[in-house]
Structure 1
Amino acid sequence: MHALKTQWYNHSEQSEKNVGSSKGDDSRPRLVVAHFMLGNTYPFTEEDWSATFDLAEDTSVDALVLNLGPEDWQSSQAQTAYRLLASTASKHKLKLFLSLDMNVLPSDPLLLVDKIVSIITVGEQSQLRWGAEIVLGTFGGHALEDGWKEVIRGVEERLGEEVFFWPSFFLPPHEILAKDYVDGAFYWNGAWPMGNQTTSLKEDQAFLDSDKPYMAAVSPLFFTHYGTEGRWAWNKNWIYRSDDLLLPTRFLNLLALPRPQSPSIIQIISWNDFGECHSIAPVRGAQPGSEAWNEGMNHEGFRWMARYFAERWRDSRPEVGTDEGVTTVMWYRTQPKDMIGEDSVARPNNADWAQDLINFFILLPPLAHQKDKFTLHVSNGPESRKSIRLDPGRLNLLTVPFVAGKVSFAVKRNEAEVVLSGEGKEITEGGGWNYNMWSGVFTAKR
């Protein structure tokens, strides 16, 4: 991972420091936050921040987790975000919290305290709190060990408030949970399968069983393609398995948990980490040398699904509203995984985990007439797929194998009336390796 990560927190006024012991309390808030890379905000203006806040709230996100690196301009941009949200002119309810990127920040408690305090004091009303306590996160950093106690104590003394420490340490669950200075746990790599299998909650279970509040990760995909030479020589070149309905499946697994066993927060990875392709927001600001695999790769479908599931999980929104029309989200990689690439950087590690699939998320209203039937028709390349039966009044999730060529679909009523149709990005062969995904959202009013 690189210095472009983030985490989040809560704006509730409900709980005390012993919130961890109240995990089964149904009155505790549920929050949805999104990882935000300050490392991509070098050219940000106040207008960029305002547009970001607007879109985050439109996505039903409660807070942005500001991943903080060592550069002074990153701290300055974080201060701008805190100040703008705290302004009396701001109408946003969005909150912020810091995630210290310990892959790149110095392991010096005094320097860390200075950075944290200099940012939060600019706009304390913008700070996400768990109960009355300031949420503070990390990306890594377990090697600082008891130095974290010094960091927490220093922030508390200078701000006159308690800290709720919610780090992402890359350690076995029992080691994280046993640390007395860790108030809540966040498992970053839960967002993707760590092998060639579908996503599950197996690796989350120890955290879900703990009394400490748990922040679960969700993500649409992971692909990064940096080589070992040139300006962006970060030597990061791999994928995680993402083709088979990763984002909705992960959300549905969390939705299926009884509320007392459910996470306290869901963190979306990410809002704007373009270098790892899991961004749900449009490109804004700078890109860390990832233009080659982001150009033309619309992620609006991921943002749309994130909002839908956030509102189902947090707000108990129904699976399908009675007055809704038809909505289809379609997403897929735009190159066959076994094509011959022409690239100065090698084929990504784990590339064989990829599956050549077109993914569909389809919301259908309840039947107006019992005899009505809905079907999905997919055209791809030289082939027209047979119709696939859809269930009305629910969310339909399905995949269709793809080949190189154009992609289009139609949702039909009674095999004749087209109620919704659309075209996707063409699947092509050749050029540089790109395991990023294109997505699109298509809607038709009822």
Structure 2
Amino acid sequence: MRLQQLLPVLAALMGASLVEAKAVFAHYMVGNVPSFSQADWEKDIEIAKTSGIDGFALNVAAGDTANNPSSIQKAFAAAESKNFKLFFSFDYEGWGAWNAGDVTNYIKQYKTSSAYFLRNGQPLVSTFEGVQNTGDWPAIKSATNAFFIPDYSSKGASDAAAQPGVDGLFSWDAWPEGAHDKSSQVDKDYVSALGGKPYMMPVSPWFFTNMPTYNKNRLWRGDDLWYDRWQQVLDVNPEYVEIVTWNDYGESHYIGPLYPAQYPVFGYGGSPYNYAEGMPHDGWRAFLPYIIQKYKTGSASIAQEGLVSWYRTQPGTACDTGGTVANDKNYQTPYPPAEVVQDKIFFSALLNSAADVAVSVGGVSLSGVSWRNTPSGGSGIYHGSVAYGGSRGDVVVTVSRNGGQVAQMKGAAITNDCKGRAENWNAWVGSASGSGTNPPPTTTTAAPPPPSTTTDPAQPPPSTGDACVEGAGDGNLGGLCSFACHYNYCPAGACRCTKRGSAVSPPPSTGQKGYPNVNVPGRCGYVGLCSFAWDRGYTDNLAACGSDPAGAAGC
């Protein structure tokens, strides 16, 4: 073949490779963080990056004119400094419809930023609904060269694909209806309707909201959802994935850290109580580097085994429902929540080979504990659940192999205590690291941040040149993070990895036990760091750590 004939073929192949470049984003509620500084944005971005996430879809509401300019500016400055990607997801429901001119101006202003996500040179733009304004987009696209992947879920796949200016579609249909598990049929309907145009598939772990201001008090079944949806991603193989969400505390599907600065959202929503406080979801990030790599490339290696578990801390009939119903009663059949969600403890483990799992509640072992799903070949993510019935007390999930412990998570107690309020239908999530390149197993507990709600380093498996070699932390965490991160133990949320390189071997173990001081706020978030540092000779930070085991009691 002559060069003149070969050039078009090469160009087509190059274009195809660009089109097929996969990416994973997390939906980020900009309206929840008006008080965030650029440093706060950088902290969230760093945590997202270490979890394998490529960028944030910035949900911006039309009516939030007082905060949008400042928040967006800080977000892009932070993303530029961290080599992270952002794109706009214009929300047409939260505070009313967007003006086409304002949408155009925002895209024009930020599409040249090094942080803006481009698809084949075009700025990617999305929406949350906006079906009354579909006619605006041909002109917006003409003015901005945007690549338009809206969420028009209320129209259904076929009608949404037929709307003017649509280059692809994002679906908000991430949860199952009624007492069923979520299937991928809707996703496949979108792929079919799009006829080769890109599909952005939603993945979400949970849904519960009680916000009377917005006439929202409902849930959809979470249960096995986080595991199931990622398996469906591998099956559907979409061009993009969008995690719903990073920080929507009001709908309980956040996977980012808990920050008290975002708790005012419960006041705005008229919520009867704060159902996110003390309910960390950090553990849901633990296996993201593995599963994202598998989605992108078809394979992934395991450098560190681990365990994640989640459950509601009250049985479905323990407390008053608080008026919550299962399903959206505006267009689905409503059910009592206890008929839809299951009183079970759910667990997933990332394992190099087969292992056993055991669960106890209140010190009593549960029967019937087993894996529901096991990976082909024995290496990958194992998943299962067990009903806890009338058992009450602290939850312990243990994974073992050949009589030796691989990882153990000690979680929040299951109780009938309603705390003088209605049922909290939100999930508590914990995780534990296992054997591998990081320190011995640590556990998580519900400790209010800052600094963190987890002691498990949710960071990608280290490889040559990708280990953390420098890090930082705030307040009492400063010295601990500086020491521990140098040796690639840099727990996400508590510490920020500021430099990566070839792994540095930590000092030998001294056998010295370190624990958080009893009076340190959020002390359970220090358990792993104090243990790691003191065992390796770093005992300088006496304001945070000491030798009294009482500091780890209940963690």
> TM above 0.5, one fold?
yes
Aligned to 1:138: 127
Aligned to 2:100: 109
Residue 326 in 1 paired to residue 305 in 2? yes
Partners of 1:378 and 1:387 within 8 A in 2: no
Amino acid at match of 1:378: V
Aligned-partner SS, 2:314: coil
Distance in 1 of aligned mates of 2:304 and 2:97? 52
Task: Show the counterpart of 2:146.
Answer: 163
Deviation of 1:22 after TM superposition, in Å, equals 11
Spell out the pairing of 1:65-144 with structure 2 (5 A cutoff).
65-69=57-61, 70-72=63-65, 73-86=67-80, 90=81, 92-103=82-93, 104-118=95-109, 120=110, 124-144=113-133
**Aligned-partner Cα distance in 2 for 1:400–1:380:** 11
For the residues of structure 1 that align with 2:197 and 2:113, how far apart are their CA atoms?
25
- 5+ residue gaps, structure 1, are 1-18, 157-161, 228-232, 368-373
Partner of 1:13: none
Q: Call closer, same or farther: CA 1:325–1:67 in 2, change over 3 Å.
A: closer
| Offset of residue 149 of structure 1 | 1.9
1:29-428 alignment to 2 at 5 Å? 29-69=21-61, 70-72=63-65, 73-86=67-80, 90=81, 92-103=82-93, 104-118=95-109, 120=110, 124-154=113-143, 156=144, 162-169=145-152, 170-189=154-173, 191-209=174-192, 210-227=195-212, 233-243=213-223, 245-257=224-236, 262-284=237-259, 285-287=261-263, 288-289=265-266, 292-318=274-300, 321=302, 324-341=303-320, 345-349=322-326, 350=335, 351=337, 352-366=339-353, 374-381=355-362, 383-386=364-367, 388=369, 393-403=379-389, 404-414=392-402, 416-428=403-415
Match in the other structure for 1:370: none
- Cα deviation for residue 45 of structure 1 reads 0.7
Deviations 1:280-320 (A, max 9, x none): 011233231166211111111111133332122124343x5
Change (3 A) 1:363 1:84: closer
Pair 1:41–1:153, CA change in 2 (3 A): same
Matched residue SS, 1:426: strand
Matches of 1:208 and 1:26, distance apart in 2: 19
Query: What is the rounded CA distance, in whole Å, between the counterparts of 2:400 and 2:97 in structure 1?
Result: 58
Q: Using the alignment, how far apart are the partners of 1:60 and 1:326 within structure 2?
A: 17
The Cα offsets for residues 345-368 of structure 1, whole Å up to 9 and x where unpaired, read as 42344413111111110122237x
The question of whether the paired residues in 2 share the 8 Å contact of 1:68 and 1:75 is answered with: no
CA deviation string 1:236-286 (max 9, x = no partner): 11111111x1111111112134xxxx2110000011111111110112332
For residues 428 and 388 of structure 1, do their structure 2 counterparts lie closer, same or farther at Cα, with a shift above 3 Å needed?
closer
**Alpha-carbon displacement from aligned partner over 1:21-42 (angstroms, at most 9, x marks no partner):** 9998697200000000001111
TM-score (norm 2): 0.66
Q: Which amino acid aligns with 1:42?
A: P
Letter in 1 for 2:166: V
- Partners of 2:99 and 2:157 lie apart in 1 by 25
Give a deviation string over 1:140-192, Cα, whole Å, max 9, x none.
101113122233234x2xxxxx1101100121211111224100101111x21
Determine the C-alpha separation between the residues in 2 that align with 1:306 and 1:326.
13
Structure 1 CA distance, aligned partners of 2:43 and 2:60? 20
Distance 1:35 1:375 in 2: 35
Cα contact 2:19–2:120 (8 A) shared by 1? no
Residue 381 of structure 1 and its aligned partner are, at CA, apart by 3.8
Q: 1:185 to 1:22 in 2, by over 3 A?
A: farther
C-alpha change, 1:112 and 1:422, in structure 2 (3 Å) is closer
Gaps of 5+ in 2: 1-11, 327-334, 437-555
CA distance in 1, matches of 2:23, 2:235: 17
Q: Distance in 2 between matches of 1:394 and 1:107?
A: 44
Letter in 1 for 2:209: T
Q: Distance in 2 between matches of 1:96 and 1:394?
A: 30
Q: CA deviation at 1:388?
A: 4.5
1:265 counterpart letter in structure 2: Y
Aligned partner of residue 296 in structure 1, secondary structure: coil
Amino acid at match of 1:79: Q
> 1:166/1:442 Cα in 2 relative to 1: closer, same or farther (>3 Å)?
same
On the 8 A contact 1:219/1:270 being kept in 2, the answer is yes
The answer to whether the Cα contact below 8 Å between 1:177 and 1:212 also exists between their aligned partners in 2 is no
Give the partner amino acid of 1:242: G
Q: Give yes or no for contact 2:26–2:53 (8 Å, CA) kept in 1.
A: yes
SS in 2 for 1:195: coil
* In structure 2, distance between residues paired with 1:41 and 1:252: 32
Q: Identify if the C-alpha distance between structure 1 residues 419 and 306 changes in structure 2 by more than 3 Å, giving closer, same or farther.
A: closer
Larger radius of gyration: 2
Percent of counterpart pairs with the same letter? 28
Q: Is 2:406–2:435's contact at 8 Å kept on the other side of the alignment?
A: no
**In the TM superposition, what is the alpha-carbon distance from 1:325 to its structure 2 partner?**
4.5
Partner letter of residue 398 of structure 1? G
Q: Secondary structure at the match of 1:125?
A: coil
Q: Which has the higher contact order (CA 8 A, sep 6+)?
A: 1
For residues 85 and 424 of structure 1, what CA distance do their matches in structure 2 show? 34
Cα pair 2:134 2:163 within 8 Å, conserved: no
* Rounded Cα–Cα distance in structure 1 between residues aligned with 2:255 and 2:42: 17
The structural deviation recorded for 1:75 is 2.8
What CA distance in whole angstroms lies between the structure 2 residues aligned with 1:204 and 1:144? 24
Q: Once superposed, what is the RMSD of the aligned Cα atoms?
A: 2.6
- 1:426-441 matches, within 5 Å, as 426-429=413-416, 430=418, 431-441=421-431
Superimposed CA distance per residue, residues 96-133 of structure 1 (whole angstroms, 9 cap, x where no aligned partner)? 10011001243432233234434x16x62211111110
Task: Give the match's secondary structure for 1:173.
Answer: helix
Counterpart in the other structure of 1:4: none
CA distance in structure 2 between the aligned counterparts of 1:276 and 1:22, rounded to whole angstroms: 41
C-alpha separation between the residues in 1 aligned to 2:15 and 2:241? 15
